[in-house]
Amino acid sequence: MTLIDSLPSDAALCAIIDSQMHLEGPLLPILHALQAAIGHVPEAALPLIAQRLNITRAEVHGVMTFYHDFRETPAGRHVVKICRAEACKAMGADQLADHARARLGVDWHGTTADGAVTLEPIYCLGLCACAPAVMVDGQGQNRLMGRVSPAAFDALLAEVAG
Ligand code: FES
């Protein structure tokens, strides 16, 4: 599925929603399908999902916000995820996160003003032996980096967003 440039119509949203309705427990597949198609789950989709599944909009919102990977707004051109789980914290992930937020001028889930980078936390990338770990982008373009110092983070940023 390709990313849709502008916000789709209700009919387009319903088509995406309906494509997942045959699945058992379709709510998560619907949210994934919307994000894959649009790059985020637009607010306008929530009442449509609720109506289709005969649940409340609050229930849809609750599930969406429980899973940190679902976005309410479009991400930047690159997504940088810093691991915040225990092994990385023990090896300086908090200091790296402070550096990243200051360097980018955004908080978690924020996107830089030029739209280049969205910063997100993640909880274990499976690279615990090489903490602190960072992942850039995703969905087929994942790039994992370990033992990321603030200087290495800056170099990574210059490479991906430069
Ligand atoms: S705790 Fe960070 S990669 Fe596992």
Q: Is residue 1's pLDDT more than 90? A: no
59 located within any domain: yes
Q: Is residue 3's pLDDT more than 60? A: no
Atom from ligand 1 closest to the CA of residue 124: 4
| Domain interval for residue 151 | 78-161
Atom from ligand 1 closest to the CA of residue 127: 3
Do residue 85 and residue 24 come from a single domain?
A: no
Do residue 90 and residue 144 come from a single domain?
A: yes
Q: Which of 81, 88, 120, 145 to mutate to test the pocket of ligand 1 (most atoms within 8 A of CB)?
A: 88
Q: Please enumerate in sequence order all residues whose Cβ is within 8 A of that of 31, keeping only pairs 6 or more positions apart, or say none.
A: 41, 49, 63, 64, 67, 70
Of 40, 66, 92, the residue at which a domain comes to its end is 66
145 located within any domain: yes
Q: How far lies 129's CA from each of 50, 138, 160, in Å?
A: 43, 21, 24
Does ligand 1 have an atom closer than 6 angstroms to the CB of 85?
yes
73 located within any domain: no
SS3 content of the chain, % helix, strand, coil (to 5): 45, 10, 45
Query: Using one digit for the tens of pLDDT, what is the confidence trace for 80-102?
Result: 999 999 999 999 999 999 999 99
Do residue 124 and residue 157 come from a single domain?
A: yes
pTM above 0.95, yes or no: no
Do residue 107 and residue 47 come from a single domain?
A: no
Domain count along the chain: 2
Atom from ligand 1 closest to the CA of residue 132: 2
Count of all residues that appear for the chain in the document = 162
1 located within any domain: no
